[in-house]
């Protein structure tokens, strides 16, 4: 497993992250097995959000920590807040209360990272700064980040908060390459030449901000996985071939494609199956050549100019 040094605390966080969105409804023993499998594979980073399972994902994870509190010291634990039914809320009151609720559900006294979950158009950066400052001073959150924000939104927030943003969680996969396409089609009158994100990958690289990729095996907006899909025969063929050459499942190659981007990259694995988690953890061991990386990009249906 590979690790990045995260935020101001420089705590080591694994490049493959266990996503906890789908663990709601699982038995405590099942989640404990999944968590221990992750740690065995070197995955120490766990990603939550207060809305996952309407809080149930954090609750069942917290039951594991309540039963096995020693596991907490082995973890990089983060959660997200800001999504409410029908609207987004970055108010100081909501951020503070969300963190209190997450800490209680997770049976921990602090989060290693708190991310704002999707942009709030009514965000007051100074109000967010007050919330972050209070949480940092109280030791309840060590580092802060965002999710699904573009470069200008991050800059707007950063000019108010004292803590440097440590992460941005964005959708990225071999079949969802919007953030890369415009960079290949600069000054071209083509659909792929439209910049939709304000250069967020470049902004994160310039400011040493971790890029956390979600829906790493999906295409579209939760339309389904591209693995085994009839929509992506060439992509599956290329992933399968490289996987056989490197002795890993093709899903690990798909995650390795994300990790090959030269930034502080993390990829979130949202599986609830121990066998699948072990397969995905191998992504950190796969080293793709430049030629292989571009072959995967083109195999998804992308055309280089």
| CATH number for 130 | 3.20.20.100
pTM of the model: 0.95
Residue 304 belongs to some domain of the structure: no
Residue listed under structure tokens 């800001």: 82
| 114 lies in some domain | yes
197 assigned to some structural domain: yes
Residue 172 burial by CB count (10 A; 0-12/13-18/19+): exposed, middle or buried? buried
Mean pLDDT of 116-144: 98
Write down the catalytic residue from 52, 203, 219, 232: 52
What single DSSP character describes residue 193? G
In angstroms, the CA 36 to CA 304 distance is 42
Which among 132, 47, 45, 51 is positioned nearest to 96, based on CA atoms?
132
Q: What pairs with residue 305 in β-bridges?
A: none
Structural domain boundaries, residue 274: 3-299
Residue 221: pLDDT band (50, 70, 90) is confident
Mean of the per-residue pLDDT values for the chain? 96
Residue 90 lies in a domain: yes
Start-to-end CA span in the chain (Å): 35
What confidence category does residue 191 fall into, taking pLDDT thresholds of 50, 70 and 90? confident
Residue 305 lies in a domain: no
252 within some domain: yes
Report how far residue 209's alpha carbon sits from residue 80's, in angstroms, rounded to the nearest whole number: 16
73-111 pLDDT tens trace: 999 999 999 999 999 999 999 999 999 999 999 999 999
d(CA 190, CA 8): 40
- The alpha helices in the chain, defined as continuous H runs, are 28-40, 56-67, 92-106, 125-137, 151-158, 178-184, 200-206, 233-246, 250-259, 274-281, 290-299
Round the CA-based radius of gyration of the chain to a whole number and report it.
Answer: 19
User: What is the domain count for the chain?
Assistant: 1
Q: Is 52 assigned a catalytic role? A: yes
Per-residue pLDDT averaged across 266-278, rounded? 97
Give bridge partners of residue 214 from the DSSP assignment.
171
The pLDDT of 204-210, averaged and rounded, is: 97
Helix (H, G, I), strand (E, B) or coil at 181: helix
Q: Phi, psi (5° rounding) for residue 90?
A: -105, 25
């Amino acid at each position: 497993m590979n690790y990045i040094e995260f935020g101001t605390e420089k705590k080591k966080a694994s490049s493959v992250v266990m996503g906890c969105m789908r663990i709601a409804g699982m038995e405590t023993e099942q989640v404990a097995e999944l968590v221990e499998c992750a740690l065995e594979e070197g995955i120490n980073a766990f990603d939550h959000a207060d809305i996952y399972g309407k809080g149930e994902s954090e609750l069942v994870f917290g039951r594991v920590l309540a039963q096995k509190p020693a596991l907490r010291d082995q973890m990089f634990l983060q959660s997200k807040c800001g999504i409410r039914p029908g609207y987004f809320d970055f108010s100081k009151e909501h951020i503070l209360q969300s963190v209190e609720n997450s800490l209680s559900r997770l049976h921990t006294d602090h989060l290693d990272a708190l991310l704002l979950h999707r942009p709030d158009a009514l965000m007051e950066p100074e109000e967010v700064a007050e919330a972050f400052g209070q949480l940092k001073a109280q030791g309840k959150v060590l580092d802060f980040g965002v999710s699904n924000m573009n470069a200008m939104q991050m800059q707007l927030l950063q000019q108010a908060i004292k803590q440097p943003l440590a992460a941005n969680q964005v959708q990225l996969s071999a079949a969802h390459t919007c953030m890369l396409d415009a960079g290949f089609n600069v000054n071209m009158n083509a659909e792929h030449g439209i910049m939709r994100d304000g250069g967020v990958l470049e902004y994160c690289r310039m400011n040493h901000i971790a890029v956390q990729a979600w829906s790493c095996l999906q295409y579209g907006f939760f339309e389904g996985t591209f693995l085994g899909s009839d929509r992506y025969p060439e992509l599956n063929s290329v992933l399968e071939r490289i996987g056989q050459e490197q002795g890993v499942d093709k899903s690990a190659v798909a995650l390795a494609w994300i990790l090959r981007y030269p930034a502080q990259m993390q990829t979130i694995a949202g599986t609830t199956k121990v066998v699948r988690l072990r397969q995905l953890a191998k992504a950190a061991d796969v080293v793709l050549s430049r030629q292989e990386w571009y072959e995967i990009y083109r195999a998804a249906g992308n055309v280089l100019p």
